[in-house]
């Protein structure tokens, strides 16, 4: 039986700020309590002596490293005012690799890269060991304190991480086919087991690839089989199992939802491990130390975690009993299997993290995502599915403000970004902020969303501003018909694609909305198609063409779906928010919309955000967005 206890860790491990005192529960916490950069992504070191996590330092994501045997010692902090910590992984007991985003300058303009460099951090001597931006870590030799294997393109190298010496080992084997991209599969000791050669077969709406699996047999490649995958749906061959004898594959099952299969690397026999007729396998579970595939997660209304190893599955079942009603799993386990970092999260419960000792069966609280929020201040989240006008089943989630009856409420419709993404019921700081301020929140999973099968995702192809938008409108009308929403107090707000959907709602169904707010939303689809191809390359351009449409043959449809070209239809006040260093959706998309609305004599406010990217990476950005949104909603549909 798992026992839960709390100890006082070094300052900020739990409270997130040195000297922070406990905040008493209050009906309306300040926006800053929702805007904090939450502790996230904790990982334990290979030997179980340390753990690290990403948390906010002076409003920026930073890496904090703690000694498990000394919880009162202050953590080692790795941060910079020039780059943003985007992720990390342990490669040795005392060495971490940090992935960061950093500013680059082009002439007079500064741009925040969406993907950045990597640096190795030696904790024992506080040294930074620079790595190239292009290297990908493929394996860590668990028996050698110095050696890792990295790839660059199709080349594989063995490296002494402390001395920065590289030796190519891919030249021992025949190269991949022309125009094929190799993925190397190694055994935890930098020895090659197999290789996957991926090759694009043709531009198409599914962006199909052929993946050929080859096993290393007595120094020669032996082909096991060729498998078709689709880059946009993230299926195909994903990696080695933890016994190194199988390759795990995500593939569409008989009902169109993705399943998990196992391919024996010697015989080629393929067997199904899991399939659900309703939900996709959201992701495979990869051991953060070894990169091996150890299980999978099914994103139902909340994520459900399952493991191949009976011991890990038994641990998972025990955690589910210890944390009833929450989505829980072991994020990271040391190599000996003795200690684990556990994450638990729920609809009203922000992610919290525990250090679990498998010998004592004690789980010790080490970090909380939003420490100044309490459950009684959060809104109830529940499924709210409905039928679209053409009969398609649309999953959705409805969040109700605490202490309010679900009748005649002001409503914020919040379509997600992507659009190849989805919402679930786990804690969402934006929706809970809105619910705490008295608004019901509707999150429709419109066609084109991921998670509900390939056919559901593909039903959104070339449907921007059409059936995808109808799905959102039909959800709004259902809340009105059910008496939940006051039809005169409905606002639509979203970020990225959700920002586009908000602007599309303003121009296509202006009668539905009393206000419109867009955070980093596209407004001119033809310009976005040109930009994506120019900035990120042919594959990115073709991906967005597959979603939006072809400029040469679908120009009329693209124009009809571009909000900037129909600003004269807008009747509600509009709030535009956009980060100046956004390279995913450039700020000129909001600039064009602002100019078009002003020219048409419409009420618009444009908030330019300094120094951040597309993803609300900085605490000051999150706070600014919440404050501007709260003020705008209160003036437009507030009580």
Q: 179 pLDDT exceeds 60?
A: yes
- The CATH code of the domain that includes 83 is 2.40.128
**361 domain residue, yes or no:** yes
Confidence of residue 9 (pLDDT cuts 50, 70, 90): low
Structure-model confidence comparison of residues 232 and 236, the more confident one: 236
- Domain C-terminal end among 343, 361, 377: 377
Q: String of b and e for 545-563 (b: at least 16 CB within 10 Å)?
A: bbbbbeeeebeebbebbbb
- Domain C-terminal end among 325, 347, 377: 377
At 13 the pLDDT is 43
Residues 370 and 392 in one domain: no
Residues 100 and 87 in one domain: yes
At 70 the pLDDT is 93
Q: 178 pLDDT exceeds 80?
A: no
Q: Is the pTM of this model over 0.95?
A: no
At 611 the pLDDT is 84
Residues 372 and 431 in one domain: no
Q: Is 541 left (phi over 0), alpha (psi -120 to 50) or beta?
A: alpha
Listed range (67-81, 126-140, 378-392) with the worst mean pLDDT: 126-140
Count how many domains the chain has: 2
The stretch 182-196 carries a mean pLDDT of 91
Residues 418 and 528 in one domain: yes
**343 domain residue, yes or no:** yes
Q: What strands, in cross-sheet order, belong to the sheet with 281-286?
A: 281-286, 293-299, 303-307
Q: Are 563 and 507 in contact (CB under 8 A)?
A: yes
The stretch 528-541 carries a mean pLDDT of 84
Residues 400 and 347 in one domain: no
Structure-model confidence comparison of residues 25 and 631, the more confident one: 631
Upstream peptide bond of 633 is cis (omega within 30 degrees of 0): no
Q: What is the H or E stretch that residue 318 is in?
A: helix 310-322
Q: 458 pLDDT exceeds 70?
A: yes
> Given the DSSP bridges, would you call strands 515-519 and 574-579 parallel, antiparallel or unpaired?
parallel
Question: pLDDT tens-digit profile of 20-69?
Answer: 333 344 479 999 999 999 999 999 999 999 999 999 999 999 999 999 99
User: Which phi and psi (to 5°) does residue 206 adopt?
Assistant: -105, 0
At 462 the pLDDT is 95
> Given the DSSP bridges, would you call strands 83-92 and 136-140 parallel, antiparallel or unpaired?
unpaired
Structure-model confidence comparison of residues 14 and 191, the more confident one: 191
Q: 15 pLDDT exceeds 50?
A: no
Question: pLDDT tens-digit profile of 413-440?
Answer: 999 999 999 999 999 999 999 999 999 9
**246 domain residue, yes or no:** no
Question: pLDDT tens-digit profile of 461-483?
Answer: 999 999 999 999 999 999 999 99
Residues 373 and 465 in one domain: no
Q: 134 pLDDT exceeds 80?
A: no
Residues 359 and 445 in one domain: no
Give the CA angle between residues 114, 117, 122 to the nearest 5°. 140
The stretch 612-635 carries a mean pLDDT of 96
Residues 372 and 419 in one domain: no
Listed range (147-156, 335-344, 364-373, 535-544) with the worst mean pLDDT: 535-544
- Using CA atoms, how far apart are residues 159 and 394, in angstroms rounded to an integer? 50
Q: 107 pLDDT exceeds 80?
A: no
| Residue range(s) defining the domain that contains residue 503 | 378-637
**297 domain residue, yes or no:** no
Residues 95 and 9 in one domain: yes
Q: 274 pLDDT exceeds 80?
A: yes
Structure-model confidence comparison of residues 130 and 166, the more confident one: 166
The stretch 571-597 carries a mean pLDDT of 96
- The CATH code of the domain that includes 398 is 3.40.50.1820
């Amino acid at each position: 039986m798992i026992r839960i206890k709390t100890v006082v860790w070094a300052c900020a491990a739990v409270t997130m700020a040195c000297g922070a005192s406990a905040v008493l529960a209050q009906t309306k916490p300040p926006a800053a309590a929702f805007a904090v950069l939450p502790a996230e992504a904790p990982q334990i070191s290979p030997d179980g002596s340390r753990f690290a996590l990403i948390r906010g330092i002076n409003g920026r994501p930073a890496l904090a490293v703690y000694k498990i045997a000394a919880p009162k010692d202050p953590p080692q902090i790795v941060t910079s005012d020039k780059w943003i910590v985007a992720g990390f992984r342990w490669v040795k007991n005392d060495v971490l690799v940090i992935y960061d985003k950093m500013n680059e300058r082009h002439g007079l303009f500064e741009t925040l890269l969406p993907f950045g460099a990597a640096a190795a951090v030696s904790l024992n001597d506080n040294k930074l060991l620079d790595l190239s931006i292009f290297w990908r870590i493929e394996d860590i030799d668990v028996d050698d304190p110095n050696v890792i294997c990295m790839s660059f393109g199709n080349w594989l190298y063995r490296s002494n991480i402390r001395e920065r010496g590289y030796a190519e080992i891919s030249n021992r084997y025949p190269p991949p086919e022309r125009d094929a991209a190799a993925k190397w599969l190694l055994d935890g000791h930098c020895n090659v087991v197999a290789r996957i050669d991926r090759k694009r077969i043709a531009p198409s709406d599914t962006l199909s690839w052929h993946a050929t699996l080859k096993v290393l047999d007595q120094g020669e490649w032996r082909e096991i089989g060729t498998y078709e995958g689709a880059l946009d749906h993230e299926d195909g061959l994903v990696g080695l199992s933890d016994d190194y004898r199988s390759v795990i594959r995500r593939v569409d099952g008989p009902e169109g939802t993705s399943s998990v299969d196992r391919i024996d690397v010697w015989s080629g026999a393929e067997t199904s491990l899991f399939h659900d007729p309703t939900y996709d396998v959201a992701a495979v579970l990869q051991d953060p130390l070894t990169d091996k595939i150890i299980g999978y997660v099914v994103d139902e209304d909340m994520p459900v975690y399952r493991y191949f190893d009976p011991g890990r599955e038994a641990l998972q079942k025990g955690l589910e009993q210890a944390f009833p009603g929450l989505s829980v799993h072991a994020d990271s386990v040391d190599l000996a299997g003795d200690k684990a970092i556990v994450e638990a999260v729920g609809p009203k419960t922000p992610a919290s993290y525990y250090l679990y000792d498998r010998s004592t069966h004690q789980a010790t609280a080490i970090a909380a995502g939003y420490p100044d929020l309490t459950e009684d201040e959060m809104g109830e989240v529940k499924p709210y599915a409905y039928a679209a006008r053409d009969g398609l089943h649309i999953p959705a989630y409805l969040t109700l403000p605490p202490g309010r009856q679900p009748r005649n409420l002001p409503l914020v419709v919040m379509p997600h970004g992507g659009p190849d993404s989805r919402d679930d019921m786990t804690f969402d700081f934006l929706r809970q902020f809105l619910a705490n301020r008295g608004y019901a929140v509707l999150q429709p999973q419109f066609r084109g969303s991921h998670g509900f099968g390939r056919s559901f995702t593909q039903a959104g192809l070339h449907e921007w501003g059409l059936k995808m938008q109808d799905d959102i409108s039909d959800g709004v009308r259902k809340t009105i018909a059910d008496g939940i929403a006051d039809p005169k107090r409905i606002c639509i707000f979203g970020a990225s694609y959700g920002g586009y959907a908000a602007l599309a709602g303003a121009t296509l169904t202006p009668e539905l909305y009393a206000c419109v707010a867009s955070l980093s939303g596209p407004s001119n689809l033809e310009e976005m198609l040109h930009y994506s191809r120019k900035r990120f390359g042919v594959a990115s351009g073709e991906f967005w063409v597959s979603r939006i449409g072809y400029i040469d043959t679908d120009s009329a449809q693209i124009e009809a779906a571009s909000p900037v070209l129909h600003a004269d239809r807008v009747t509600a006040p509009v709030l535009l928010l956009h980060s100046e260093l956004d390279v995913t959706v450039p700020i000129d998309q909001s600039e064009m919309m602002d100019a078009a609305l002003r020219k048409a004599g419409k009420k618009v406010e444009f908030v330019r955000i300094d120094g951040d990217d597309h993803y609300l990476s900085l605490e000051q950005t999150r706070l600014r967005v919440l404050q501007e949104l709260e003020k705008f909603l209160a003036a437009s549909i507030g009580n």
